[in-house]
Structure 1
Amino acid sequence: MNIGLYFGTFNPIHVGHLIIANHMVENSDLDEVWMVVTPHNPFKKKATLLDNYQRLEMVYQATEDYPKIKPTDIEFQLSKPSYTIHTLAHVQEKYPNHQFSLIMGEDNLQNLHKWKNHEEIINNHNIYVYPRIFENRKELTFSQKFIYKIYAPIVEISSTHIRKSILEGKNVKPLMPLKVWEYVDKMNFYK
């Protein structure tokens, strides 16, 4: 199986994440997309994160109606902070019959050269890229032989905006799957 790994803190998961994941699995050669709930992204402040299992629960609730999209906690047992190269080595060892590819936004691709062991990632894994609107586009300096641009809808929703809006008492219900919104509301998250 060709598995697309879609990494994120999903703090919270929103409809934009689902649109991207579903578009990738339906419009590429990926068999499944695994939503990798990241405990600690080296580029984000840990203090802003909900508990790992609360975020995983939101991803479970968001994806239960999508049989080709699976939540996973594979990074929870790995050393912190989480680095993609370590996760790839872990899943390859655990699932030797699967091929693992990365899913990332075009903006993240621009910064791939900053990732730990990025050359190894580029040379050994396909990368499926979805478009993003962002400033300061750069010419890519590494080989693009394993990089596939998938023309997914451009979704300008962010978890940061959702958290800020909840804190300000704004209605964000349309931005999240209904079950996730109900969970966030019931648990009084981000208030």
Structure 2
Amino acid sequence: MKLSRKELSSISRRDFLKASGLSAGGLVIGVSLPTGVLGSVHDSSFEPNAFVYIAPNGDTTIHCGRCEMGQGISTALPAAVADELEADWSRVRVLQGDADKKYGPQATGGSQSINTMLGPMRKAGAAGKEMLIAAAAAQWGLPAGKCYAKSHAVHNKADERTLPYSELVAAASQMEVPAEPVLKTRDQFRYMGKP
């Protein structure tokens, strides 16, 4: 089915994320990125997004619309998501976005990629973690505060039961994406700022 530009622009972010997650069987978290730093998109209905995707097996992929040119974005952005998501670093990867305009301005220069994308990517990881914790808490019949995430799994504080992310992505993909997830403090980082 082909949709007109008007029909496409009327799809809500929530509906898009739900449909995307259901169609792939994983958890997709959209991240709104700042525009205008290195260029702009001249379509008023376009909102550039990068996507964090958690596959049904729990592996995490970040689609990045900026090129690696020595700034370290291929390490820094996955590290930010992995830290906030409490992901296993070995299960996080970054893919270069193709030339699709959904990735926003793809000019690379001025050392702006990390400055403009680090905060939104941290929020995406933190939102994913909160959704996965909520999915586990619902399965166990507990408040989310009785659970915590660590090493690509959610743990029950009371009895140390564990659910890997792979068992939670389907339920988490049905949940509302938190608008303001709680971010880690610098002393809680496992990957960011570490050699």
TM-score by length of 2: 0.26
Instruction: Please identify the structure whose Cα radius of gyration is greater.
Output: 2
TM-score by length of 1: 0.26
